[in-house]
Amino acid sequence: MQNKKELIYEYKNRKQIGGICKITNTQTGKILLFIAPDIEASKNRFEFSKKTGSCINCKLQSDWNKYESSSFAFEIVEELEKNSEQSAKDFTEDLNLLLEIYLNKLSNEDIY
């Protein structure tokens, strides 16, 4: 069994995978695109929100109440690995640029 220091070291030195995620309202087809500096954390937050019936984003709240949480699906659109020399701010800026590219491809009536 690993001791606590080894576990902390492994956690701090794990690869950070961020990216662009999408939440789709399966009833209306509308989507919410957003950046996720940690994709697994975002996915877990979404699953927890579905189980508890709580909405994870205020832009979705009205439809979340109307159609219920079971009408929403989570999808990873694109993954991006943070390199070791990159600061958290730089990584977030890269993710925001990637998000802009995807948003420019969509019609405004399709997104929250």
What is the Cβ-side half-sphere exposure of residue 91, based on CA atoms within 13 angstroms? 20
> Structural domain boundaries of the chain?
16-110
Q: What pLDDT, on the 0 to 100 scale, is given for residue 13? A: 76
Residue with tokens 């990216």: 19
pLDDT at 102 over 90: yes
Q: Is the Cβ–Cβ distance between 31 and 24 less than 8 Å?
A: yes
Stated as kind and residue range, the H or E segment containing 10 is helix 4-12
Predicted TM-score of the model (pTM): 0.84
pLDDT at 1 over 60: no
Residue 6: both structure tokens together: 């080894």
Give the architecture (CATH level 2) of 16-110.
Answer: 3-Layer(aba) Sandwich (3.40)
pLDDT at 16 over 60: yes
Stated as kind and residue range, the H or E segment containing 94 is helix 88-104
